[in-house]
Amino acid sequence: MDKRLIPLAVALLISLSSRANCDDTSLPDSSHHNKLYIVASAGGGIYVGGLSFLSLVWYKDHERVPFHFYNDGKGYLQMDKFGHAYAAYWESYAAYHALRWAGLSNNQALIWGGPVGFLFQLPIEIFDGLYEGWGFSWWDVGANAFGSAIFSAQQALWGEQKMLMKFSYSPSGYPKYHHILGETPLESFFLDYNGHTHWLSINLKSVTGLQALPPWLNIAFGYSANGMIKEFENPTWYRGEPFPHLDRYRQYLFSFDIDLTKLPAKRKWVRTALHTINMIKVPFPALEYNRIDGVKFRPIYF
């Protein structure tokens, strides 16, 4: 399992109650101490628990070593870095909205909630620098900062998220080549970057100002990669046999998407569900470009 899922899960837990509310404009700009206590205690408690899990369980089989660095900027064709930015974006998003629900003003929630994605993940990077087999990565730190900045800049400039970071997954077929990509479908979901796609989903009505457009319609630009077995290069031998040649290449995609938060919903539990799953891109047809196939049409892209 990816360590980023720990702070991301915390952020989602913090935000679940807040997302059942109406738009932030309907929230009072006065602190509700009970709600603020809930947000702070729940977020702090669960996050400390997550870090304890890392220290006592995740790293238990790794030797503690002097603090060291690790240059993984070219690893997995940068898919890992997109994952860091995506997690930090949604952690900041969730923290901001949870603080708004607790009654903080827009500026207060942005000041305290905007950096949360970066701050949530920084201790994980420090942990990595203290254990064998890992290392402190400035690339990861930069990606974390970038994800939080995408959220904070939009909220500060426009008071809304005109561009959402989204994620989609489809089994790639590559785990059959090597167990490192997961021995079960669930393991492969976390370990196989070939199946991941990261998207920047842009709301057309909000960006263009055209009132005739439906408020939920987005266009999406995606990035993915294929042919990756290990971080920097594929093995040449596996279990005593020559490993087949697999081209490692990037994929660039264009598609449509739906901003689920813009769909009308009267029931609070429906609004909560829509806000939560809005992290995931809605499947649509897509155009793809890669250096192997050139331009091709994908009738449906998950």
User: Residue 227's closest CA among 271, 280, 272, 291?
Assistant: 291
pLDDT value for 53? 75
Q: Output the pLDDT for position 75.
A: 96
* Mean pLDDT (10-residue bins), the chain, 302 residues: 53 49 50 78 78 77 92 96 95 93 93 94 91 93 97 97 97 96 93 97 97 97 98 96 97 98 92 92 98 97 92
Kindly report the number of other CB atoms within 10 A of residue 152's CB atom.
22
pLDDT of residue 25: 46
* Global confidence as pTM: 0.91
Could you write out the three-class secondary structure of the chain?
A: CCCCHHHHHHHHHHHCCHHHCCCHHHCCCCCCHHHHHHHHHHHHHHHHHHHHHHHHHHCCCCCECCCCECCCCCHHHHHHHHHHHHHHHHHHHHHHHHHHHCCCCHHHHHHHHCCHHHHHHHHHHHHHCCECCCCECHHHHHHHHHHHHHHHHHHHHHCCCCEEEEEEECCCCHHHCCHHHCCCHHHHHHHCHHHEEEEEEEEHHHHHCCCCCCCCEEEEEEEEEECCCCCCCCCCEECCEECCCCCCEEEEEEEEEECHHHCCCCCHHHHHHHHHHCCECCCEEEEEEECCCEEEEEEEEC
Question: How much is the CA Rg of the chain, to the nearest whole Å?
Answer: 20
